[in-house]
Amino acid sequence: MTSEQRRITVGICLIVGISLLMVAGLTFLIEPMANDLKFSDALVEDILAVPSVAALIAVFVAGQLGIRFGHRRVIASCAALFSLGAGVLAIAGSALTVEIGLAICAGAAITMQIVGAGLLQQSTGQGPAQTSAFTTYGMVFPLAFLVFPIGTARVLELTNWRVVPVLWIGSGLLMLVITFFFLDGHTTATRVQDWVTPLLAGIALAAGSRTCGSRAG
């Protein structure tokens, strides 16, 4: 793996890892938020379904965005959108604003994950470099789901729930900085075999189906 490939791999893994903050911490955030805003149990179920639905919608278009507009530009735009969605959530006073904030965050996050994987695939080519890059990429998800829920729960023990989405705003800005420092802004728009999007589409579809099934039950 060349130094450029290593830099891009580290940058993408950092961005994707940070983008999992919302989905990994939402389970802990929802209870104090619901108590504060006086949401019913049925409304909480609807709110929890929003990220899956938003991701399911975004996943089918995300794969082509990096090719059409440039990977770094799309990731930077989504990092800004992630901060915007977190900002909406931080000032939310109703279920509608909560759902809008979560939908923006979820759509931006899944797009960064897909476009990041596409850039990683394009940058490393075939062979050992790609294997090493995607092995590292794959380690990000279990690590994020191990660390972020614990961190979110700890923050909620110490302060108001609105601090969590404020931290997400800072995370979006951090992803924006990482994008400009680690990712190449001049990647070619070469079309590569796209196996990432169908895979993540299946994951999102399964998550959405599970949510709908749990609600029906």
Nearest to 50 by CA among 112, 97, 116, 120: 97
pTM to 2 decimals? Answer: 0.84
Burial (CB < 10 A; 0-12, 13-18, 19+), residue 181, is exposed
Main-chain dihedrals φ then ψ at residue 2, nearest 5 degrees = -75, 170
Q: What is the CATH number of the domain that holds 156?
A: 1.20.1250.20
Q: CA–CA separation, 162 vs 28, rounded Å?
A: 12
Give the tens place of pLDDT for each residue, 122-162. Answer: 888 778 888 888 899 989 999 999 999 999 999 999 999 99
Q: CA–CA separation, 120 vs 108, rounded Å?
A: 18
Whether the predicted pLDDT of 43 surpasses 80:
yes
Q: Identify the domain containing residue 111 by its residue range.
A: 3-216
Give the tens place of pLDDT for each residue, 159-196. Answer: 999 999 999 999 999 999 999 999 876 454 444 445 45
Chain centroid to CA 115: 11
Is 108:82 a contact under the CB 8 Å cutoff?
yes
Q: Scanning the structure block, which residue is given the tokens 């990000």?
A: 140
Q: CA–CA separation, 13 vs 198, rounded Å?
A: 20
Whether the predicted pLDDT of 91 surpasses 90:
yes
Q: CA–CA separation, 148 vs 123, rounded Å?
A: 28
Predicted pLDDT at 197: 53
Please give the average per-residue pLDDT across 64-71, as a whole number. Answer: 83
Domain count for the chain, please give it: 1
Whether the predicted pLDDT of 54 surpasses 60:
yes
Q: CA–CA separation, 161 vs 20, rounded Å?
A: 18
- Distance in angstroms between the alpha carbons of the first and the last residue of the chain: 49
Which pair of tokens denotes residue 112? 């960064």
Provide the residue type at 36 as one letter.
Answer: D
